[in-house]
Structure 1
Amino acid sequence: MPIVDRTELQVDKITMSRRQLLASAAVGTAGAAFFGASPAAAQSKSNKDDSFRLTVLGTTDTHGNILNWDYYKDAEYDDTKHNDVGLAKISTLVSAMRAERGRCSTLTLDAGDTIQGTPLAYYYARIDPITGAKAPVHPMAAAMNAIGYDAAALGNHEFNYGLGTLRKFQSQLHHPLLGANALDWNTGKAAFEEFIIKKVRVGDHRGHEHGHRHSGSGEYVKVGIVGLVTPGCAIWDKDNLDGKIKFNGIVEQAKLVIPKVKRAGADIVIVSCHSGADTSSSYGDALPWPENASTLLAQQVPDIDAILVGHAHVEIPQRFVQNTKTGKQVLLSEPLKWGERLTVLDLDLVKQRGRWHVGTASSTVLNANTVPADDKIVSLVAKQHAAVRSYVNGVIGTSTTAMSAATSRYEDTAAIDFINYVQADAVKKALAGSSSAALPVLSIAAPFNADAAIPAGNVTVRDVAGLYIFDNTLAAITFTGAQVKAYLEFSAAYFKQITGTGPFKADDVTNAVTPTAPTGTPDYNYDIMGGSGSSAAESLTYDIDIAQPVGSRIRNLMYGGAAIPADKQFVVAINNYRQSGGGGFPGVTGAPVVYNAQVEIRQLIIDWVTAAKSIDPTVFSRQDWKLVSNGMPITITA
């Protein structure tokens, strides 16, 4: 593996002492005991021959964020909690932690979902691809190399652009990309590295620069690092993976791999796991293994000391899970998403009978909004950042009126109607002359991005891209009228059961907890279905009565103003994530597929605007659905 120059920042660039910086960056109370400890106490502990503190730093779900920048707004990133994002800020935290704990006793890991999620990531996958003739280095690879990661796990979104892009990205990294349960389709052997073992020199390493050499043989702790990814990849990127890579369950594969790691000499084992802590599956029973299995991993597989959790986009500063076979407490931590947090795992090791073990463990997360960006990372990607800004700010058309997606999760909006209109139009054109051409076309879209907005006047790439922030491709299936109703009933479980007409706040009505969404149904798993939108005769209309129990909410379902017979045939424009089973919607995976050209929906919308030159919402937008309570319209405030 190539050695990367990990020259550290001069920490005195930070306007506070390292200890003050780290204490102010700590989120919540987890790990607070360490930050209250004196440097002398930590020094005394690390000087003992039979004790040693190993610090593991972790990120996850960075999703193409390097700078604290919102490309859809073309402005510095901010949210209601004033989080900051990006690897440039993570780099500052990592450098400060290495200076505090010692560079040689600190490992840095990532838990996946790196190369998808921002226009920056899209640009180097599709516009100026890293697989092209010029073969630019992916900016995420460049930033991670400069920070000096020791290993990273695959995330499910790593497969979004196909194996060619992923393998090129992998080749550009200076650290291994681990995926123990990603297996070759034919041989069943590991398609990526399963694990690595890092040798960490025992002793006090504070003040050591990267690249120095230790004299003498010394003593080392062998740290096994394993990467695992949610098996949902097989569903969500079926078209990219079928016949190439298959996936075993996380727990099932770990039971095979962890003993191998121990046999290879690992004293301790850390798993970087792209799978949420709270056991659930958005795809229901479409696979025999759960999507989110990190807690099950800790409970059921012995010899794991700590798990860096990813995928769920939640913040877990510190959680302990007891292994049912050994009684051992396994430490879990998840550092939110997008580079907003950095996990710090402190493993205090003790030597017993000549082998190192974890005596005590703790963790916390550090907040990226407490530190400045690392100038080294900012400069490293400045050219790429400028290229992407230029691309996304290119004007491709105009709109007669403004359209906002801000209220799309609870009321019919022109913004979602526009997505459905473009999708249905593409499917109609593709099916012309086929046996399915005479069937009415419906379309589904989810309120992915509440900040999305198309302005009146000039429309840019970033305006349109904001409507569809995922890299899904368009497909089309056939459904009966009964299946359309069942699909809508399933989608309507997104709403909490509420009586009365309000006014209600949106959060009091939306994101209902369900058996498959124990922390609340995400917006992307609420689908809005519409007709082709070109005329009332092609419109789908319905009410969602949220006073009724789940499964009995869709009322007044009509197509073209008439009730829909159960056996009436439709073509439904649908994204590949949903068509492959993502979200567990009924009837989808077994439905006949009549179109699947694997055209990205975001690019389809951009191309539509570029060709049409003008967006006129009066052509496609009307109120086709509404929320009601016992038949009466509901008032919802933001």
Structure 2
Amino acid sequence: MSQMLHSVSRRSFMAGSAAFGALVMLHPFSARAQANQAHLRIMETTDIHVNVLPYDYYADKPNDTMGLSRTASLIDAVRKEATNAMLVDNGDLLQGSPMGDYIAYERGMKEGDLHPIMKGMNLLGYECSTLGNHEFNYGLSFLDKVLAGANFPFVCANLIRGTELAANPRDDKLYLKPYVILDKKIKDGAGEEHPIRIGVIGFVPPQVMVWDAKNLTGNVMTRDIVETARAWVPQIREDGADIVIALSHSGIDAKQSDMMENASFFLAGVEGIDAVFTGHQHLVFPGKKDFQGLEGVDTEKGTLQGKPAVMGGFWGSHMGLIDLLLERDGKNWRVISATSEARPIYERVDNKNKALVEDDQRIVDALKEDHEATLAYVRRPVGKTSAPLYSYFALVADDPSVQIVSQAQTWYIKDLLKETQWKDLPVLSAAAPFKAGGRGGADYYTDVPAGDIAIKNVADLYLYPNTVRAVEITGAQVKEWLEMSAGIFNQVESGKADQPLINAGFPSYNYDVIDGVTYKIDLSQPPKYDTKGGVANASANRIKDLMFEGKPIDPEAKFVVATNNYRAGGGGNFPDINESKIIFEAPDTNRDVIVRYIVEQKTINPSADDNWSFTPLADTSVIFETGPKAKDFLDQVKGVKIEAAGEGADGFAKFRITL
């Protein structure tokens, strides 16, 4: 097992550990704590997604950018060097890697079974966690069995059992405890030990009711995060908590609305909360890249509305750390100053990932059987492909990795609707690239050679265990769907060279290509919709020559579009696409459908059909970044002129499109 997991040299590890130790020993709070003061270090992990080991099962190779077993070394170092420390987690534990799918779909969870994520977390001694939205992907019964194996409490204040909300959030019948108060001992600057009561409250995005409606509707409900916090935090204080920390599986957005998905900024403004641990967005806070320019957000100090906050990346890439300097006022403690940081487990050196820490061998040993079983699961062949499947150009040209998803979805929905009232309607398919670089890095692409396809390759094509949905919409709504998707591109000035093509703030999973129609995208036009689905330029018209069966699409005509539960339920805020349009909810995941399609076809042909392209613009070129291996596939891209244009940042390569 240890040979399978990539290790680092002892010299590299000792150098990294020495650096971390120096940071701890020189920390101002440790030096400043006096007899009536104490320094408390609170560590966070978030969005682990069952990446307990530094192994990418999709690529079937070790990966130094991930793994709770690596984050564990940072945790252990802080514990050894800090007088007072505690560890919490911020959710999204149970889904997101093939190991999670293997446990849920193949091995299952019987009463008394211990999930691999709990094996690792129990060894590390967590003191509390909350639920993330992906905890519900496999159903509530599965969740309950997993939580039963935790040696620490889970809290969630805005998940209500049943179908009725009380007038006051504190009267709701909650699925879990809303909060816990941890009674601990803490040493002050003089070495004297004192009791301290730490309140911990947790929150999940209310949108789980849309994203996992199949598992949750009729069973639970959710409340607004900030509304819930305002109701419960005074109660935590009344129960004697000296300090209150929030485990917010919710990101950072400074534009307020009801039932916010990313509400941590406004949660920090709730009176009585001392620190906020965030997650969900798979970003890093504090830091130099994410959340710049938001009013009230200090990305250098790591504060939201003046309160300390941290977001520790994803997949174990970082450990979040908030340091609190506490002062004793009589018998109670209060926060007088704080700092926060997100510590990485790796760094980029010469365009390569360099590990900063070694594995915690306890976790590696504990998960040996789970790791080997997952490897056998993902290596199982299911068919063949006559052409390579890759996503290096998925954002700029019709793409084989998206094509095969659409082929499978269309095949599946046509068969299921053939005896229904929709049997005579044309079936289109909407699919987006999930592995398209971005924050996942320069290696984060689908790359499956021609030949055998294994389960790991299907998981690589479709990362999430979404379920298939079908919606009925009009030709006019098909166009608006595509107008929203086209927002991933920046507006381009005709006659100008090497303009940036991709809007980095637009998620690739919201870039839907619709198969079954043909169209062009006019980059000289501004985007009609912003990244949240709001109308940005009402008169914009990027989608040109939209055709069905060789003729201009009829705006009044009805179409069935195969998609997933996220999009059909309103995910991404696409215009007019919501639950009211759903005509069919499949029991099968999109991944399972792809596997069944490949098994039935035996050999698939995923070659892109070039159903979309950019409108030509004279003397105009654009630049985009993708993985450096893209150069190996330049001769396979049709309908667009692409050429290499040098090195990009962080290991990416630049390419040029002449329009």
TM-score (norm 1): 0.84
Q: Where does the alignment leave 5 or more consecutive residues of structure 2 unmatched?
A: 1-8, 165-171, 299-303, 347-355, 437-444, 529-540, 621-638, 644-654
Aligned counterpart, 1:36: 26
- Aligned counterpart in structure 2 of residue 486 of structure 1, from 442, 467, 480: 480
Match of residue 269 from structure 1: 244
- Inter-partner Cα distance in structure 1 for 2:163 and 2:451: 53
List per-residue Cα deviations over 1:361-413 (Å, max 9, x = no partner).
Answer: 11222221311001110000011100111111111111112121111111101
Measure, in 2, the Cα distance between the counterparts of 1:609 and 1:502: 44
Q: Which amino acid aligns with 2:253?
A: D
Look up the equivalent residue of 1:171 and give its one-letter code. A
Q: For residue 268 of structure 2, what is the aligned residue in structure 1?
A: 298
| 1:389 partner SS | helix
In 2, Cα distance between equivalents of 1:596 and 1:17: 50
C-alpha distance in structure 2 between counterparts of 1:206 and 1:466, whole Å: 55
Measure the CA separation in 1 of the matches of 2:415 and 2:432.
Answer: 23
Equivalent in the alignment of 1:626: 613
2:496 paired with 1:526: no
For the residues of structure 2 that align with 1:239 and 1:129, how far apart are their CA atoms? 19
Question: Kindly tell me: are residues 16 and 397 of structure 1, through their superposed partners in 2, closer, same or farther at Cα, counting changes over 3 Å?
Answer: closer
Q: Secondary structure at the match of 2:148?
A: helix
Amino acid at match of 2:450: A
* Match 2:214 to one of 235, 239, 242: 239
| SS class of match (1:246) | strand
Cα distance in 1 between the residues matched to 2:247 and 2:463: 26
Q: Aligned in 2, Cα 1:125/1:590: closer, same or farther, shift over 3 Å? A: closer
**Structure 1 residue matching 2:524: 3-state secondary structure:** coil
Q: Which amino acid aligns with 1:550?
A: P
Amino acid at match of 2:201: V
Match of 2:634 in 1: none
CA distance in structure 1 between the partners assigned to 2:42 and 2:10 by the alignment: 22
| Structure-2 separation of matches of 1:565 and 1:17 | 63
Change (3 A) 1:523 1:17: closer
Distance 1:99 1:597, change over 3 A: same
* Structure 1 residues 377 and 204, CA gap change in structure 2 (3 angstroms): farther
Counterpart CA distance in 1 for 2:451 and 2:48 is: 33
Over residues 301-340 of structure 1, what are the superposed CA-to-partner deviations in whole Å (9 max), with x where a residue is unaligned?
1011111110111111379869xxxx98310111111100
How many residues of Structure 1 are paired with residues of Structure 2 in the alignment? 569
Structure 2 partner of 1:119: 98
Does the CA contact (< 8 Å) of 2:319 and 2:342 recur in 1?
Answer: yes
Tell me which residue corresponds to 1:510: 502
| Distance verdict in 2 for CA 1:107–1:155, change over 3 Å | same
How far does residue 610 in structure 1 lie from its aligned partner after superposition? 2.1
**Quick check: 2:521–2:615 contact (8 Å CA) kept in 1?**
yes
**Deviation (angstroms), 1:355:** 1.8
Fraction of identical pairs, as percent:
33
The CA deviation string for residues 539-560 of structure 1, in whole angstroms up to 9 with x for no partner, is x100111110222100000011
Larger CA deviation: 452-461 vs 139-148: 452-461
**Do 2:382 and 2:453's aligned partners in 1 also have CA atoms closer than 8 Å?**
yes
Partner of 2:440: none
Q: Is 2:279 the partner of 1:307? A: no
Cα distance in 2 between the residues matched to 1:617 and 1:404:
10
What corresponds to 2:353 in structure 1? none
Map 1:223-622 → 2, pairs under 5 A: 223-279=198-254, 288-299=258-269, 301-317=270-286, 329-369=306-346, 370-450=356-436, 451-500=445-494, 504=498, 508-511=500-503, 520-531=505-516, 540-551=517-528, 552-617=541-606, 621-622=608-609
Q: Structure 2 vs 1, CA of residues 275 and 426 (structure 1 numbering), >3 Å: closer, same or farther?
A: same
Structure 2 equivalent of residue 54 of structure 1: 40
Q: 1:255 & 1:33 partners in 2: Cα distance?
A: 36
- Given that 2:473 and 2:558 are in contact with CA atoms closer than 8 Å, whether structure 1 keeps it comes out as yes
- Determine the structure 2 residue equivalent to 1:517: none
SS in 1 for 2:587: coil
Q: Is the 8 A contact 2:279 2:311 kept in 1?
A: yes
Change (3 A) 1:169 1:376: same
In structure 2, what is the equivalent of residue 9 of structure 1?
Answer: none
Distance of aligned partners of 1:386 and 1:529 in 2 relative to their CA distance in 1, 3 Å threshold: same
Instruction: Give the letter for the 2:471 counterpart.
Output: I
Secondary structure at 2:147's aligned position in 1?
helix
Q: CA deviation at 1:219?
A: 2.3
What is the 5 A alignment of 1:146-295?
A: 146-187=123-164, 188-203=172-187, 219-279=194-254, 288-295=258-265
What letter matches 1:176 in structure 2?
Answer: P
- How much has 1:616 moved relative to structure 2? 2.0
8 Å CA contact 2:568–2:581 kept in 1: the answer is no
SS in 1 for 2:413: helix
Letter in 2 for 1:484: V
CA distance 1:482–1:35, shift in 2 (3 Å)? farther
* Secondary structure at 1:598 match in 2: strand
Give the C-alpha shift of residue 34 in structure 1.
5.6
Shift of 1:503: 6.7
Change (3 A) 1:439 1:86: same
Instruction: Please tell me the root mean square deviation across aligned C-alpha atoms, in Å.
Output: 2.7
The structural deviation recorded for 1:37 is 4.3
Structure 1 pair 503/396, CA: closer, same or farther in 2 (3 Å)?
A: farther
The residue type paired with residue 106 of structure 2 is: I
Q: How far has the Cα of 1:614 moved from its partner?
A: 0.8
Query: How many angstroms apart in 1 are the aligned matches of 2:215 and 2:255?
Result: 24
- Cα distance in 2 for partners of 1:159, 1:497 equals 39
Tell me the SS of whatever aligns to 1:596: strand
Distance in 2, Cα, partners of 1:355 & 1:615: 68
Q: CA deviation at 1:463?
A: 1.3
Q: Does the CA contact (< 8 Å) of 2:569 and 2:578 recur in 1?
A: yes
Judge conservation of contact 1:112–1:274 (CA < 8 Å) in 2: yes
Task: Quote the offset at 1:36 in angstroms.
Answer: 3.0
Q: Which amino acid aligns with 2:424?
A: A
Q: Is the 8 A contact 2:250 2:261 kept in 1?
A: yes
What is the aligned partner in structure 2 of residue 89 from structure 1? 70
Distance 1:590 1:222 in 2: 45
Cα distance change on mapping 1:400 and 1:364 into 2, 3 Å: same
CA distance, structure 1, for counterparts of residue 331 and residue 197 of structure 2: 13
CA contact (8 A) 1:475 1:598 kept: no
Checking the alignment, whether the CA contact within 8 Å between 1:472 and 1:601 is kept in structure 2 is yes
Q: 1:502/1:122 Cα in 2 relative to 1: closer, same or farther (>3 Å)?
A: farther
Distance change >3 Å, CA 418–CA 51, structure 1 → 2: same
Query: What is the Cα deviation at residue 594 of structure 1?
Result: 2.3
* d(CA) in 2 for partners of 1:202, 1:554: 62
**Highest relative contact order (Cα 8 Å, sep 6+), 1 or 2?**
1
1:315 corresponds to which letter in structure 2?
A: V
Shift of 1:95: 1.1
1:296 deviation in Å?
A: 0.9
Comparing 434-443 with 180-189, greater Cα deviation is found at 180-189
Q: 1:178 to 1:591 in 2, by over 3 A?
A: same
Superposition TM-score, scaled by structure 2 size: 0.81
* Contact 1:321–1:332, Cα closer than 8 Å, also in 2: no
Q: Which consecutive unaligned segments of at least 5 residues does structure 1 have? A: 1-12, 27-31, 79-83, 208-213, 513-519, 532-539
